Amino acid sequence: MSVHILPDAMLGILGGGQLGRMFTLAARAMGYRVSVLDPDPDCPAGNLADAHLRAHYDDAAALHSLAATCAAVTTEFENVPAESLRLLQQTTRVRPSADCVSIAQDRICEKRYIAQTGIRVAPFVAVEIAADLARDLSAYLPGILKVARLGYDGKGQIRVETPDEARAAFLQMGCRACVLERRLTLKSEISVIVVRSSAGEAACFPVAENQHAAGILELTIVPARIAAEVAERARRLALQLATAMDYIGVLAVEFFIVDDDEIVINEIAPRPHNSGHYTLDACVASQFEQQVRALCGLPPACTRLLSPVVMVNLLGDFWRNDSPAWDRLLSQPNVKLHLYGKKTARIGRKMGHFNLLAEDVTQALVQARKLKQTLERC
């Protein structure tokens, strides 16, 4: 297998959502062709890709077809079956590896792995059966009970104050495996997007500051409004983790900054991340170009920030009886609108985002919030 995969090759991706769509756009701009495997006939990436295999992620025939036609395969989300990636790995290049993806598929496995690397995580206990909640839980309360698998955007999480509430929440979760994690007092939430090549070359994008509403990312502020020393520590920890995992691809690492300016890893995502969408317009190369480059055995591109930026998520909440008033956004010369091509808007569903670039981050944040409020009123 050649070290470098060059333009006109076919690249495969498991998942055709918005991340798959933006990967497809980046790959095609670079001269590659793309094959998407996704069961949804209307998935956002499907109508942009060169080929769309409409099958489930564990469909053996579809996986063999993908492996036979693609020079390399990646994924847009961590909940694709790890066994599907292992099957693909037998005959084609897969980045990131099935082992790396599997770490992020289970919160228990993820937190244990990160802790073993020596990086701090919030105090937690694995809750796999009801008896696990019969112990002294004082070190983990008040806390959040999080389902170990398939939770995202605040789904599968319940805040608890007492042992009785923790036990009731476990029953509410259907007695599925969970982690009980102590709630920390936060100064801010940040994330770092890392890209690492098969040769071990690694680079970080600028640290992003994230604000959430109802468990869903609301906006991202770059550069993060934190001390330079704290930002540098976050970058070092993200690189340390990527190296420990022997990770190849784009990895998102979410951190909490607590009162003493200590940094705690919240979770990881083995793929491009919502908080990295600012890179589409504000950096020399986007996180999706980096995903293509890592998949193809190429070194990381420049991650330099060209402009302060605020990214605002556009949820289905903005769609009422009609489409949002896009003219309010598009009349602004410093706004870049990205819509994901989803046919149905639902409350809480990510339908798009906009990036607002300005001379300084405070100016960008003020204008972005005003525009968001304008769309909410329309």
> Residue 194: is its pLDDT beyond 60?
yes
> Residue 275: is its pLDDT beyond 80?
yes
Q: What is the mean pLDDT of residues 208-236?
A: 97
> Residue 1: is its pLDDT beyond 50?
no
State how far Cα 302 lies from the chain centre. Answer: 20
Q: Which two tokens stand for residue 172?
A: 């509410």
> Residue 155: is its pLDDT beyond 80?
no
330-341 per-position pLDDT tens digit: 999 999 999 999
Tell me the percentage of the chain whose pLDDT exceeds 70: 98
Provide the pairing of β-strand 10-14 with 93-94. Answer: unpaired
Confidence band, pLDDT 50/70/90 cuts, at residue 152: low
Provide the pairing of β-strand 186-196 with 249-258. Answer: antiparallel
CB 139 within 8 Å of CB 181: no
Question: Which domains are present in the chain?
Answer: 10-94 (3.40.50.20), 123-182 (3.30.1490.20), 186-377 (3.30.470.20)
SS (H, E, C) the chain: CCCCCCCCCEEEEECCCHHHHHHHHHHHHCCCEEEEECCCCCCCCCCCCCEEECCCCCCHHHHHHHHHHCCEEEECCCCCCHHHHHHHHCCCEECCCHHHHHHHHCHHHHHHHHHHCCCCECCEEEECCHHHHCCCCHHHCCEEEEECCCCCCCCCEEEECCHHHHHHHHHHCCCCCEEEEECCCEEEEEEEEEEECCCCCEEECCCEEEEEECCEEEEEEECCCCCHHHHHHHHHHHHHHHHHCCCCEEEEEEEEEECCCCEEEEEEECCCCHHHCCHHHHECCCHHHHHHHHHCCCCCCCCCECCCEEEEEEEHHHCCCCCCCHHHHHCCCCEEEEECCCCCCCCCCEEEEEEEECCCHHHHHHHHHHHHHHHHHC
CB 149 within 8 Å of CB 103: no
Among 98-112, 151-165, 224-238, 247-261, the minimum mean pLDDT is found in: 151-165
Q: Report the pLDDT value the prediction gives residue 25, as an integer from 0 to 100.
A: 98
Measured between alpha carbons, how far is 3 from 8 in angstroms, rounded to an integer? 16
Residue positions counted in the chain: 378
Which residue do the tokens 């040769």 mark?
199
Distances (CA, A) of 235 to 24, 120, 155, 202, 228: 27, 14, 28, 11, 11
Confidence band, pLDDT 50/70/90 cuts, at residue 321: confident
